Amino acid sequence: GLKYEDVEINLPNKNKLYGWYIPADKETEKHIIYLHGTKGNIGLYLGGIKELHKVGTNILIVDYEGFGKSTGKETVSNTINDSIAMYNYLLEEKHAKPENISLFGYSYGGALATELARRKEVHAVVLESTFSSLLSIAISKHYPFVRFIVSDNVLNTKENLKKINVPI
């Protein structure tokens, strides 16, 4: 029941991200980038988006590379670059100002939201069911060997929160 525009974002690596831009019911300059988890595709998150839409902002939700209709391969570095591409899309295509962009991160998307907020100017960050670091979640899932593969500097929500100076 939400009005939306199909979004296709061309990436420097020749892959494409697919998603939706859901305009607010009343015109506004406020935007939210919805960064989803690692299960399913953007359709799985419609319930949350529908609720979030009630606050009266425009919402951008895009599948990361390797998810849904987006091409490419799902990797941590690709998802970080994908979140930056979403941010740049709002700046370039929707003429959004950084101070009018907020981030909503669900689960894995919360780690991406703090990483993006550390790198780019945003208005605020909202986190739901995220984790403290990629390394901690891997170890908690009984993969202690992963500490030799994954740096604790990558998607470290706990550390990124210390570096973000916006409402969280």
Could you report the per-residue pLDDT of 117-148, keeping only the tens digit for each?
A: 999 999 999 999 887 776 565 555 554 444 44
Per-residue pLDDT of the chain (168 residues; tens, 9 = 90+): 899 999 999 999 999 999 999 999 999 999 999 999 988 899 999 999 999 999 999 999 999 999 999 999 999 899 999 999 999 999 999 999 999 999 999 999 999 999 999 999 999 999 998 877 765 655 555 544 444 444 456 788 889 999 999 999
Alpha carbons 65 and 42: distance in angstroms, whole number: 12
Alpha carbons 37 and 26: distance in angstroms, whole number: 28
Alpha carbons 126 and 138: distance in angstroms, whole number: 23
**Is the pTM higher than 0.85?**
yes
- Give how far Cα 79 sits from Cα of 29, 99, 115, 118, 164, Å: 26, 23, 11, 15, 20
